[in-house]
Amino acid sequence: MSMQLKFGVFDHMDRGAASIGEQYQSRLKLIEAYDAQGFYAYHLAEHHSTPLGMAPSPSVFLAAVAQRTRQLRFGPLVYTLSVHHPLRVLEEICMLDQLSDGRLEMGFGRGVSPYEVAYYGVDPSQAQSIYHEAYQVIMQGLKEKRVHFQGKHFQFNDVPVVMECVQQPTPPVWYGVGHPDGAKWAADNNVNIVCNGLAKNVRLVTDMYREHWREAGKSAAALPCLGVSRHIVVAESDHEAREIARRAYRPWLEHLFHLWKVHGTRPASLAFPDTFDEAQELGLGIAGAPDTVKAWVAAEAERTGINYLVCRLAFGDMTYEESLRSTQLLGEYVLKPYTALAQNTVGN
């Protein structure tokens, strides 16, 4: 069992069976359980005009998370910077970090869906360029009292920054990495990463990150989170957990591909299989009793080289009770043993 593994939660907040208001309330109760069970962080996706994302304004929901938790860190994964004004995002970041007394984790990206970006009047071919400029503006505003920036998309001349974060110089930064080439920039900039995809491909990314980290002479003890996101369902038996996962995976997948289906396409970058059984066979998730999941987690950490497992614990039509039980069993039989091992290692 790896002693360096931490656990987080990734949430698309895709449309559930209950009303949206009921979903918000049950999800906030579930997040309180993440806090109580010792998860490191809660990461919330941003999506627009799709049932994949019922929290299109992550900052609004995360403000509630800040008030309902005490230890749990949280943040967007990611802010879709191609559709936002960077000064607005900068101010929201400062507010959330202050509201939570320094528990914000900042995730940034361009937006995976060209359709969502286009709905906001943005040319998808410009999304990456806009993202890069917005990121520079935000990071400058977090570190300086004035923003000066002249780019293709944004121009700022002596804009005062009156907000500030608790965490200085900035809260931790997160980025989604799908290819080993992206690991170098992340390592150079001390950025935490989360991957999807097959274990062998994730291992290429984590190996590359560690290689660049060592070459830069940085301390192994200061290594950021190198994460992978997986569907995880825990129940009293393998059969029960698999039945829940099979049922809930179908609507989640429909939500994931919704906009592409509307436009008659399917994204090559979102390579999820049609059934949960196929996903589990490929190593993209696990459904089982506590011992089954515990063994899988240890093997997955070895396969991928991660030090951070980001769990999808509420998806599709999973009920609050199913997600809560899964969370509690994962916390009791997997998180706590890892935490105890890590504490014993430090003590020795």
pTM: 0.96
| pLDDT tens per residue, range 255-272 | 999 999 999 988 877 779
| pLDDT tens per residue, range 114-163 | 999 999 999 999 999 999 999 999 999 999 999 999 999 999 999 999 99
For each of the domains in the chain, give its residue range(s) and CATH number, in order of start. 6-347 (3.20.20.30)
| pLDDT tens per residue, range 55-113 | 999 999 999 999 999 999 999 999 999 999 999 999 999 999 999 999 999 999 999 99
Task: Kindly state the average pLDDT of the residues 303-325.
Answer: 98
Cα–Cα distance between 142 and 127 in angstroms, integer? Answer: 22
AA letter at 122 = V
Cα–Cα distance between 226 and 111 in angstroms, integer? Answer: 21
pLDDT at 268: 73
| pLDDT tens per residue, range 170-206 | 999 999 998 999 999 999 999 999 999 999 999 999 9
| pLDDT tens per residue, range 202-231 | 999 999 999 999 999 999 999 999 999 999
Residues making up the chain, counted from first to last: 348
Task: Kindly state the average pLDDT of the residues 278-288.
Answer: 97
Beta bridge partners, 230, equal 311
What is the torsional sign of CA 116, 175, 195, 103? negative
